[in-house]
Amino acid sequence: MKNINAPSHGTGTSKVALAGLALAALGVVFGDIGTSVLYAMNEIFFGKHSAMLTRQNELGATSLAIWALTIIVAIKYVMYVLRADNDGEGGVFALLGLLRKNTRTVAVVLTSGFFVLSAGLLFGDGLITPAISVLSAVEGLKVAAPALEPYIVLITVFILVALFAIQYQGTGKVGKFFGPIITVWFCAIALLGLREILHTPGIFYALNPWYGITFLRSVGFKEALFILGALMLVVTGGEALFADMGHFGRAPIRLGWFAVVYPALILNYMGQGAYMLSGQAIQGNNLFYSLVPAPLLYPMIILATMATIIASQALISGVFSLVSQGVGLGLFPRVRIIHTHAEHEGQIYVPFINWALLLGCVMLVVTFRSSTNLASAYGLAVAGDMLITSMAMILISRDLWHWSWIRSLMLFVPLVFIDASFLTANSLKFLEGGFVPLGIGLVMFVVMKTWQWGRTCIREAFKLQTRLTMSEVVDLNKKNAHYFPRSVVVLTSVYPRREADLVAPVFQAFWDRYQMMPRHLIMLNIKALKVPHVLPKDRYELTVFENDGKLGTIAALRINYGYMEMPDFADALTFINEHPDIVAYENLDNWLILAARERLLKTEHIGFLDKMRYTLFRIINRNAIPTYSYYGLGDDLRLATIQVPVQI
């Protein structure tokens, strides 16, 4: 037996200039949090549960906005959570992957369900963010051109369709196009805020956090919860910073935040507070657009609309990353994932998810019809995601960063308390629309947990099945009196290197059915590496178990490919035919690719809930893309599938 052509994994990715990546990150990562100025403060004073316009309240609300941005986004996410990357990827599944690699098994089991729930909530957030962002900007037409008010929903839907239609271009290209626009947006909102601050410098008192605490204490417990629910809108998009890290990296996101985004947001929120302090705010007016001089109103509406389109990109990209990580962790069915950048593995496009998000966004816009109504549905999913992230960071800091318990608890327990307060506050929105993201999150949670359960059952069922070893296959081949008329390539999820390794279940089913050996037998395994392209010399790994001109060849072949490539099976067969250690010499048309098609069977006497879970898994499994279909087998090469019974 020979092991040939083991690959070297030294292929790296080239570095892109930090400033260029930071600019592109502005166009993708910060759009959501950057456009919160359109509706967050407005919701506190002019929303469904509005606070009174008094000096104390105005200073207090501005102080809360400043310190929410500082504590939750600048300190928690940008300074600490961004450090918890998993091979450059961010998001809740990245945290789960880190815990699986570095934390005790019991802790992972106890927390994995929360991570899956958090991922489901992020799906809900990914639906609402584009809807509320674009709708809130287009609503500026009510101020500038009241006659266009009946067409706001239609215009919003048109913009959303256009946004999702360009996603196939890839995050990097979208970011380069959006980056300069969002930079202009941040400069504009900073100048608008600075203009009001210079007119009313008394707003600097809001830098004192005591004004925010006093504001919450003065309005009563229930009213304070409503205010926290509206304040949540200030920090929505903070979770996207971490989810989108795989698209650009930690350093560009930090540079963009501290150099541009954070100062601009602070200046604008202080400017809105200064405008209210000056006594100009009128009930019913849009607070943000009130800062805009009349001659600049139309240009600002256009810029805001463009910025909110960009805001939607943060969550769209984040959901793409989430799905990709979920597939890798076995928590999500296989879907088509297109890598759009040769130097950044995290820049991807997922067609099915893209169009599903578009459909959901359009339904939300048509149903709720205004940003105020959607604001009631917004925040609950974000608060849940943020709380789970803070809890996970306690374990990450202890087991990965080796912090002491005192240091971990002193930093993250207060953050857990703040996030729990936001979650409690946003739970009051449940009947007003908060059930939408929560419902979406729970549906995704059930789908992901059901898929994980089903695939685990299948793996365990395969372990219990009696299968041949590679050594036994060689012995059978020597005793074989009749050959199957074709040479067979068997797709296997495990690369057999040793004679004691088991054959793939699909070959066991083949042998049980035909009791014949193929003229040549190749066990084929496919492995994706974390590099854009694999060098030709590293493309294949080969283990030869039997090589005889009379008895034929029995071997195992692994195809290594990068994330910008797709395996070339015709090339693999040519490699087999031409390899000096293999005596095959088969016509390519004579090779047959053999793949498994699982036939799910349930055990008798199972409970009602298990029957429901089994039924749901069958539906998901039937609609998931099989491995052979994902790689395009059967298009040019002969493909045969064999049903492999699996008892769940």
- Within a domain: residue 568? yes
Q: What is the mean pLDDT of residues 567-573?
A: 79
CATH number, residue 163 = 1.20.1740
Distances (CA, A) of 502 to 348, 463, 479, 506: 35, 10, 19, 11
Q: Let me know whether 291 and 347 are in one domain.
A: yes
* Residue 273 maps to a domain: yes
Same domain, 430 and 543: no
602 within domain boundaries: yes
**What number is the average pLDDT over the span 561-567?**
71
Give residue 530's pLDDT.
66
For residue 142, tell me if it sits in a domain.
yes
Confidence class of residue 412 from pLDDT cuts 50, 70 and 90?
A: very high
Split at pLDDT 50, 70, 90, the class of 284 is low
Same domain, 361 and 473: no
pLDDT tens across 493-511, in order?
A: 889 999 999 998 889 988 9
* DSSP conformation class of 631: T
Which of 387, 412, 434 is the last residue in one of the domains?
A: 434
Query: Which is more confidently placed, 541 or 379?
Result: 541
Q: Specify the 3-state DSSP secondary structure of 541.
A: strand
**Is residue 15 situated within a structural domain?**
no
Same domain? For 425 and 504 the reply is no
Same domain, 376 and 290: yes
In a domain? residue 450: no
Q: Do residue 590 and residue 524 come from a single domain?
A: yes
pLDDT of 75: 95
Cα separation, 341 vs 348, in Å, equals: 8
Quick: pLDDT tens for 78-95: 999 998 877 777 777 777
Which of residues 434, 456, 488 is at a domain's end?
Answer: 434
**Residue 6 within a domain:** no
In a domain, 390, yes or no: yes
Please name every residue paired with 555 in a beta bridge, in sequence order, or none if there are none: 522, 544
When comparing pLDDT for 88 and 305, which is higher? 305
CA angle 370, 375, 381 (to 5 degrees): 135
- Decide if pLDDT at 64 tops 90: yes
Shared-domain flag, residues 515 and 393: no
Say if residue 382 is in the same domain as residue 519.
no
Q: Is the pLDDT of residue 601 over 90?
A: no
SS (HEC) of 143-166: HHCHHHHHHHHHHHHHHHHHHHHC
Share of the chain above pLDDT 90, in %: 19
Report the pLDDT value the prediction gives residue 209, as an integer from 0 to 100: 95
pLDDT in tens, 224-257: 988 998 898 899 878 778 877 776 778 888 999 9
Percentage of the residues of the chain whose pLDDT score is greater than 70: 87
**Residue 345 per-residue DSSP state:** T
- pLDDT attached to residue 454: 85
Owning domain of residue 165: 21-434
Q: Between residues 344 and 29, which one has the greater pLDDT?
A: 29
Helices (H), 69-104: 92-102
Number of domains forming the structure of the chain: 2
Regarding whether 219 and 167 lie in a shared domain, the answer is: yes
Q: 2's torsion region: left (phi>0), alpha (psi -120 to 50) or beta?
A: beta
Q: What is the mean pLDDT of residues 588-599?
A: 80
CB 247 within 8 A of CB 347: yes
If asked whether residues 515 and 394 sit together in one domain, one would say no
Domain stop point among 417, 434, 451: 434
Are residues 26 and 103 part of one domain?
yes
pLDDT band at 189 (very low <50, low <70, confident <90, very high): very high
Is residue 272 classed exposed, middle or buried when 0-12, 13-18 and 19+ CB atoms within 10 A define those classes? buried
- Let me know whether 429 and 470 are in one domain: no
Rg (CA), the chain: 28
Stretch 103-122: mean pLDDT: 61
Instruction: Say if strands 338-339 and 348-349 run parallel, antiparallel, or are unpaired.
Output: antiparallel
Q: What is the 3-state secondary structure (H, E, C) of 449-516?
A: HHHHHHHHHHHHHHHHCCCCEHHHHHHHHHHCCCEECCEEEEECCCCCCCCCCECCHHHHHHHHHHCC
Rounded (10°) CA dihedral 275, 47, 360, 432: 160
| 36-55 per-position pLDDT tens digit | 898 889 888 887 777 888 89
What is the predicted pLDDT for the residue at 6?
Answer: 47
Mean pLDDT, residues 596-616 taken together = 79
Residue listed under structure tokens 């067979």? 488
Name which residue leads in pLDDT, 305 or 343: 305
| More reliable by pLDDT, 538 or 378 | 538
